[in-house]
Structure 1
Amino acid sequence: MSHTATPPPAMPPKLAEIVDEFASAPRDVVLEMLLEYSDAVPPLPETMTDRAGMEQVPECQTAFFLRVEVAADRTVTTWFDCPPEAPTTRAFAGILAEGLTGAGADQVLAVPDDLYQRMGLAQAISPLRVRGGTAILARLKRQVREQIG
C-alpha cells in the first residue's frame, strides 16, 4: 500500500507571481515596481480609521499598523495603515494586500520569512527597510496562527 505524502501548502499563487516578477526584473526597475505597489494598499474601512484593533509594527521606521482576520472558512483578510510619505513601507503592505487576497490561513503561513530577499529587494533597498518588511510579515503570520489556534 503506497502512501503519497500531502505536499506542504504553498504560498498564495498571486503572491508567488509577484515574487517571481520582482526576482526576474532588472535591478534598475525593481525600485519603480516596488513604488507602484505603494498605491495598492486599500483604504481602511470606516470602523478602523482610529486604528482600533490594529497592531503596530515598531520595527518599521514609520508608523505602521496591521490587522488580520481569519474567517470561519480560514480565508485571511488583511488591513494595513501606513502613511503615504513612507512609499517603501507602503509598498510592502501593497504587495501583501494584493498577494494575499483570498488566501487561506495555511497559504499565508507558507509564505517564506525571507520573502523580500527572494524578491531581490535586499539589493535595492536598505537592510533596515527589509527588516521592517520582514517584521510586517512575521506579525501578520503570528496573528493568523493565534486565530486558527
Structure 2
Amino acid sequence: MSETDLPSALATIRDDFLALEQHERLVLLLEFANELPELPPEYADHPDLLERVEECQSPVFIFVDVDPGDAGGGIVHLHATAPKEAPTTRGFASILVQGLAGLTAQQVLDVPDDYPLTLGLTEAVSPLRIRGMSALLGRTKRQVREKTAA
C-alpha cells in the first residue's frame, strides 16, 4: 500500500498531526485520548475476551470483531481500553479505533506497519511509547488475520 492508498480516515489523522508544530501534536494526541469510546457492554462485562498489549507500558487491552462480509473479509471493529492516566497510549488506541472503523479486513491488513511513525510524534513521545503504538497496530492486524482465517 503506498502512502496515497492509506485509508482516508488514517490519512486525514496523519495529515492533521503533520500540519501542527511538535508541541501541538501532543495536544492533539491528548484530544484523541479523550475520544476513546467506552467498551461495549459485552466486552466491558467480560474482560477475559480482551487481549493485553504487553508492549505498552500501561495496561492496554484490545478486541477485534470482524463482521462477515464481502471479498475483503468483512468489516473490522476495533475495541480498546486504556487508563486515563496513560493519555498518549490511550490517544493512539483512539486513533486506531477511529481510523480503522468501517474498513474491511484487507484494508486493515494493508495499513503500513510503520503508520505510528508517520504521525510525527517521535520527538514528542518516548521510543517505548512508539513501540507500544506499533504493537497495538500489529496485534490488531494479527487478530484480523486470525478471525478472517477461521
Contact 1:39-1:91 at 8 Å conserved across structures: yes
Quote how far apart the aligned CAs of 1:148 are: 1.4
Which ranges in structure 1 are unaligned for 5 or more consecutive residues?
Answer: 1-6
Determine the C-alpha separation between the residues in 2 that align with 1:45 and 1:68.
Answer: 12
Determine the C-alpha separation between the residues in 2 that align with 1:115 and 1:60.
Answer: 17
Task: Indicate yes or no: 2:116 matched with 1:116.
Answer: yes
Structure 1 runs of 4+ with >3 Å offset = none
- State the match for 1:88 in structure 2: 88
- State the match for 2:29 in structure 1: 34
Determine the C-alpha separation between the residues in 1 that align with 2:110 and 2:78.
Answer: 16
- State the match for 1:99 in structure 2: 99
Match for 2:140: what amino acid? L
Q: Which of 36, 58, 63 is the aligned partner of 2:54?
A: 58
Length-normalised TM-score, structure 1: 0.90
- Higher fraction of helix: 2
Determine the C-alpha separation between the residues in 1 that align with 2:82 and 2:89.
Answer: 7
How big is each residue's C-alpha offset from its partner over 1:1-53, in whole Å with a ceiling of 9 and x where there is no partner?
Answer: xxxxxx9x933211111011112321121100110000121101122124131
Contact 1:57-1:65 at 8 Å conserved across structures: yes
Which ranges in structure 2 are unaligned for 5 or more consecutive residues?
Answer: none
Determine the C-alpha separation between the residues in 1 that align with 2:98 and 2:64.
Answer: 14
Report the RMSD for the aligned CA atoms in angstroms. Answer: 1.5
Match for 1:18: what amino acid? I
Determine the C-alpha separation between the residues in 2 that align with 1:81 and 1:97.
Answer: 10
Q: What is the total number of aligned residue pairs between the two structures?
A: 142
- State the match for 1:48 in structure 2: 43
Determine the C-alpha separation between the residues in 2 that align with 1:147 and 1:46.
Answer: 21
Percent identical residues: 44
Matched residue SS, 1:78: strand
Larger radius of gyration: 1
